[in-house]
Chains A and B, each alone.
Chain A
Amino acid sequence: MNEKLKYENKRIKSGIHFMLGNYAVVEGALAAGCNYFAGYPITPANEISELMSKRLPEVGGIFVQGEDELFSIYSVIGASLAGAKAMTATASAGFNYMQEGIGYASATEVPCVIVDVQRCRGENFATQADVMQMRWGASGDYEAICLAPSSAQELFDFTILAFNLAEEFRNPVIVMSETTIALMRERVEIPEKECIEIYKRKYTSLTPEEYLPFKAKNNSPPEFAPMGKGYHTLYTLNYHNEDGTLDWDAQGYKKLYQRITGKIRESKDKICKSESYFMDDADSVIIAYGSEVRPALDAIEMARNDGLKVGMLKLITVWPIHENLIKEIAKNVGRIFAVEMNIGKYVKEIERLCLPFCPVTSITKNMGIIHTKEEIYAAIKEAL
């Protein structure tokens, strides 16, 4: 039998499973075509590395446990430039170290997927405290793409989505996991291979003589050239011309970063995904992301039972923020509630968009424990 086919048969475990959130990430990555993983031990992300070390060799992929998180992110970048679909996973403290690599990957437009299982400082309790670090962690100008799953199923689904976005926009994509969902077992349905949509990396059809590695239309990513085929591409963090070489040109610098940020800014409506609940008649709306979506939805049920018309916007894409949609909602409702598990961070972004139109109430809990529906409902009632 064809060796490749034999490997591929083990790649997608179609069917219904009772699965740990961290394992769902692994299965999602494999379903998306991941064939390189580098990681460094850190709780509560360890199960991702552990399962990867077993599953990747089964499908002809490569697993490496590195000496630190910097190794993880840079070897992932190296593998991606060599043609791999590469991923790393870590938790908050390890995510700090990876920021440097995220900056490089943004500047040189390297597709890669980073999973951050957020935890409280030094402890493995639940939090969403890294939400701003997802966006602003690295030095220099860039736009982040960050997805926030709220269940094991979404950890599977959004990991696939993350690979697709990374390849399409040539940008690092972050899956913002949390202790709550990463260490929970739930129903996960893995579809048949034919039903999984995969975005294939675009390679140039030009010859090495014609090819310019960073030449692209306005607000779009350039096409890749395969490594080791004579295209002699230089991937440098420094300012680079369309031909990839180091230079300094003030106008060129401006243009380069307009394109690198513009390719995401101008595609916001395509990238940003969300789900709406009870919005048709809502006169106030909860905006939540990640695992906080779950108690928030339960709180809405309580409110509805008491006759309060509360709706819900669940953000799948946390970064870039879905500006148009949130502004539109703010224009049509009396109040926005921002629910999150930290000292109140993302609420500042929501206020930026909503305050001209309606008041914003921040509902936060920063105790290493997820909100209960009663707590959220009590906060809603108090404000209304």
Chain B
Amino acid sequence: MMQQKTNPLRKYIRNGRLPHFFCPGCGCGQVLNYFLKAVDDLQLDFKKIITIGGVGCTARIPIYLNTDSLHGVHGRTLAWATGIKLYQPDLKVVIFAGDGDLVSIGGNHFLHAARRNLDVTVILVNNFNFAMTGGQVAPTTLLNSVTMTTPFGSKENPFDVCELAVCAGATYVSRWNTARPIQTITSIKKALQHPGFSLVEILSQCPTNFGRYALRTGDPQKVLEWIENKSILEIKAEKLSKDGLKDKFILGEFINKKRPIFQGTSLFEEESN
């Protein structure tokens, strides 16, 4: 008789938590897998990883992980993370945030954590809308997209979150999508090993809400194809004109540099004598 194989990443999942609550075809499950693969490849001490989620679909990823975790307040992930990281710098703090959580209600904390170069990793799952609440417009929703609160199309310009992070002072920033597991896992590994504020934005399909309202399809594959067809690698994008890049998602690594990490506003310098 064939012995039933268990997923090698199963050991990282909290006991008794599965099945998860994500919709069929949602990208959050993929992101969870990519993260655990990165952790497993790097052989990180899982005990020393603290995962944090605010509120939203993505924010629920930590509740399935067998780590010390915080969850349940919208947008405050980086404030929690600062307290934990400054008091116990040897812990590795990873934040899972949706676009609404990170750059709408949590936008201010995001800018300042990046500015300070707080030594944490942010995994942003960008599905272009507020999904858990039923598909409302988000700061990342593309211009003219129909959502539950923009029935005539969104009239707001979306954020380029990676650009925002680079401007604010983040020291590792990349963008990939759920259709590209290898690049995404590689990038998460780099982010986890990076000393300083690291952001990996993962464009992800939300068939239930963004798909149905903005793209008129609830088929996960079609939503994913829409993302992948609009995606273009940074090296290729450099050769295109501004018009050619209209409505394109540029994938790649936008910054990877080192600068002093944040240890508290008031640093105590030992007197030399």
Residues of A within 8 A of B (CB): 35-36, 38, 53-54, 56-58, 60, 62-68, 70-71, 73-84, 86, 100-101, 104, 227-238, 245-246
Starting from the known contacts A104-B73, A228-B91, A237-B72, 13 additional A-B residue pairs (CB-CB under 8 Å) come to: A57-B266, A57-B267, A67-B112, A70-B76, A70-B109, A82-B91, A86-B87, A101-B73, A234-B68, A235-B71, A237-B73, A245-B16, A245-B17
A74 to B268, CA, bound (A): 23
Docked-complex contact B17 and A83, CB < 8 angstroms: no
Docked-complex contact A54 and B112, CB < 8 angstroms: no
Docked-complex contact B76 and A74, CB < 8 angstroms: yes
The stretch among B78-86, B96-104, B188-196, B206-214 that forms the contact with chain A is: B78-86
Residues of B within 8 A of A (CB): 14, 16-17, 47-48, 50, 62-63, 66-73, 76, 79-88, 90-91, 108-109, 111-112, 263-268
What residue in chain B is nearest A63 (Cβ atoms)? Answer: B266
Given contacts A67-B112, A101-B76, A234-B63, contact A228 B81 (CB under 8 A): no
Docked-complex contact B84 and A229, CB < 8 angstroms: no
What residue in chain A is nearest B79 (Cβ atoms)? Answer: A74
Docked-complex contact A238 and B268, CB < 8 angstroms: no
Docked-complex contact A62 and B73, CB < 8 angstroms: no
A76 to B91, CA, bound (A): 17
A233 to B63, CA, bound (A): 10
On chain A, the residues within 8 Å of B72 by CB distance are 104, 236-238
Which residue of B79, B90, B266 contacts A71 across the interface (Cβ within 8 Å)? B79
A232 to B47, CA, bound (A): 7
A246 to B111, CA, bound (A): 30
A35 to B47, CA, bound (A): 24
On chain A, the residues within 8 Å of B79 by CB distance are 66, 70-71, 73-75, 78
Docked-complex contact B71 and A234, CB < 8 angstroms: yes
Given contacts A228-B48, A228-B88, contact A64 B82 (CB under 8 A): yes
Given contacts A70-B79, A228-B47, A237-B73, contact A245 B88 (CB under 8 A): no
On chain B, the residues within 8 Å of A73 by CB distance are 79
In the assembled complex, how far is the CB of residue B149 from the closest CB belonging to chain A, in whole angstroms? 23
Instruction: Return 28 A-B CB contacts under 8 Å, by A number.
Output: A36-B87, A64-B86, A64-B265, A66-B112, A73-B79, A74-B80, A75-B83, A76-B83, A78-B79, A78-B81, A78-B82, A79-B83, A81-B83, A82-B87, A83-B88, A100-B73, A228-B48, A228-B50, A228-B88, A229-B47, A232-B69, A234-B63, A235-B69, A236-B72, A237-B72, A237-B73, A238-B72, A245-B14
On chain A, the residues within 8 Å of B263 by CB distance are 62
Docked-complex contact B71 and A237, CB < 8 angstroms: yes
The A interface, classified by DSSP as helix, strand, loop or mixed, is: mixed
Docked-complex contact A82 and B47, CB < 8 angstroms: no
A56 to B66, CA, bound (A): 34
What residue in chain A is nearest B110 (Cβ atoms)? Answer: A67
A327 to B17, CA, bound (A): 49
On chain A, the residues within 8 Å of B266 by CB distance are 53-54, 56-57, 62-64
A221 to B196, CA, bound (A): 36
A252 to B79, CA, bound (A): 30
Docked-complex contact A232 and B50, CB < 8 angstroms: no
Which residue of A57, A68, A86 contacts B268 across the interface (Cβ within 8 Å)? A57
A70 to B54, CA, bound (A): 14
In the assembled complex, how far is the CB of residue A96 from the closest CB belonging to chain B, in whole angstroms? 15
On chain B, the residues within 8 Å of A235 by CB distance are 69-71
In the assembled complex, how far is the CB of residue B156 from the closest CB belonging to chain A, in whole angstroms? 23
On chain A, the residues within 8 Å of B67 by CB distance are 232
A114 to B85, CA, bound (A): 21
In the assembled complex, how far is the CB of residue B218 from the closest CB belonging to chain A, in whole angstroms? 26
On chain B, the residues within 8 Å of A232 by CB distance are 14, 66-69
Given contacts A56-B266, A104-B72, A237-B73, contact A227 B84 (CB under 8 A): yes
Which residue of A70, A79, A80 contacts B86 across the interface (Cβ within 8 Å)? A79
Which of B72, B81, B108 neighbours the largest number of chain A CB atoms within 10 Å of its CB? B72
On chain A, the residues within 8 Å of B17 by CB distance are 245
What residue in chain B is nearest A231 (Cβ atoms)? Answer: B68
A56 to B264, CA, bound (A): 11
On chain A, the residues within 8 Å of B82 by CB distance are 38, 64, 66, 71, 75, 78
Which residue of B88, B108, B264, B265 contacts A227 across the interface (Cβ within 8 Å)? B88
Given contacts A227-B91, A228-B68, A232-B68, contact A80 B14 (CB under 8 A): no
On chain A, the residues within 8 Å of B268 by CB distance are 57-58, 60
Docked-complex contact A81 and B84, CB < 8 angstroms: yes
A65 to B80, CA, bound (A): 14
Which residue of B14, B68, B80, B86 contacts A62 across the interface (Cβ within 8 Å)? B86
In the assembled complex, how far is the CB of residue B49 from the closest CB belonging to chain A, in whole angstroms? 8
A56 to B111, CA, bound (A): 26
Given contacts A231-B68, A245-B17, contact A64 B264 (CB under 8 A): yes
Given contacts A74-B76, A228-B50, contact A233 B87 (CB under 8 A): no
In the assembled complex, how far is the CB of residue B63 from the closest CB belonging to chain A, in whole angstroms? 5
A267 to B59, CA, bound (A): 36
A75 to B82, CA, bound (A): 6
A86 to B88, CA, bound (A): 13
On chain A, the residues within 8 Å of B47 by CB distance are 228-230
On chain B, the residues within 8 Å of A79 by CB distance are 83-84, 86-87
On chain B, the residues within 8 Å of A68 by CB distance are 108
Docked-complex contact B83 and A84, CB < 8 angstroms: yes
Given contacts A63-B265, A228-B91, A237-B71, contact A78 B16 (CB under 8 A): no
